[in-house]
């Protein structure tokens, strides 16, 4: 049983009509063919990376997709293969840190976001006479700035300086110094309660002396 093929009218939505689309197609100019970029050095961002096998030999590899970030060829894409063979592993180990990766297991996921590279690009010709680009090498060129619409980070130096102007926060005991009390400010001696007892006894004797009761035991015997 064959399934009926859909027509252009079936897939057009949002008020578009077949006649309108055909009219645009007749008037619009064809896009130019994109050939390879000229040899040279280009600033690129890492767009994607994924594991694959070569179609003819089955050799395992990791294909890196790059996008030129500036100049006349901004937006054009370049590709670079890491071959995961014994002979190629030294080069892989050399270049992976430039992508902020150090372990082969990291190749199983997407590359880190925002990686920038300075790539040296050459122009090659295949057996059929077609030209193509090849990345001969690249150097780390930093990372793209954070999203300007992302929430502000309040943990910078300015926030730390502002937090240090007020009194110390003693509400948390995790890693914090103990709260300072009145006795602590007056010195360690005042924290020893026995030191206050002689002063209290001396005060009582002074009161008895003032009342005439300080004559001692001989007075009680009269």
pLDDT above 80: residue 79? yes
How would residue 6 be classed by pLDDT, with cut points 50, 70 and 90?
confident
Give the span between the Cα atoms of 119 and 135, in whole angstroms: 7
- What pLDDT is stored for residue 222 in this prediction? 40
User: For residue range 20-32, what is the model confidence (pLDDT) as tens digits?
Assistant: 888 889 999 998 8
Q: Of the candidates 65, 37, 70, which has an alpha carbon nearest to the alpha carbon of residue 50?
A: 65
* DSSP 8-state assignment for residue 108: G
H or E stretch including 77? strand 77-83
Region 40-143: CATH code: 2.40.50
- What pLDDT is stored for residue 144 in this prediction? 93
Give the span between the Cα atoms of 197 and 8, in whole angstroms: 103
> Rounded to 5 degrees, what are φ and ψ at 74?
-55, 135
User: For residue range 44-65, what is the model confidence (pLDDT) as tens digits?
Assistant: 999 999 999 999 999 999 999 9
Domain chopping of the chain, boundaries: 40-143
Model pTM greater than 0.85? no
CB 106 within 8 A of CB 115: no
First to last CA, the chain: 137
- What pLDDT is stored for residue 212 in this prediction? 56
| Mean of the per-residue pLDDT values of the chain | 77
- Higher-confidence position of 202 and 171: 202
pLDDT above 70: residue 94? yes
């Amino acid at each position: 049983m064959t399934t009926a093929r859909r027509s252009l009218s079936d897939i057009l939505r949002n008020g578009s009509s077949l006649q309108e689309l055909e009219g645009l197609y007749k008037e619009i100019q064809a896009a130019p063919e994109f050939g390879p970029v000229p040899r040279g050095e280009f600033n690129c961002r890492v767009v994607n990376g994924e594991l694959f096998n070569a179609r003819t030999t089955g050799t395992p590899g990791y294909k890196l997709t790059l996008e030129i970030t500036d100049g006349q060829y901004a937006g054009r894409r370049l590709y670079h293969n890491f071959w995961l063979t014994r002979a190629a592993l030294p080069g892989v180990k050399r270049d992976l840190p430039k992508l902020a990766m150090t372990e082969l297991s990291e190749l199983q996921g997407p590359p880190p976001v925002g990686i920038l590279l300075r790539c040296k690009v050459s122009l090659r010709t295949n057996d059929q006479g077609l030209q193509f680009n090849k990345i001969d090498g690249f150097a780390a060129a930093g990372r793209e700035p954070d999203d300007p619409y992302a929430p502000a980070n309040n943990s910078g130096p300015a926030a730390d300086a502002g937090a240090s102007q007020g009194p110390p926060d003693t509400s948390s005991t995790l890693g914090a110094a103990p709260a300072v009390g009145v006795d602590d400010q007056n010195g360690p001696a005042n924290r020893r309660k026995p030191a206050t007892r002689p002063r209290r006894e001396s005060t009582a004797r002074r009161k008895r002396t003032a009342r005439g009761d300080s004559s001692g035991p001989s007075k009680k015997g009269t």
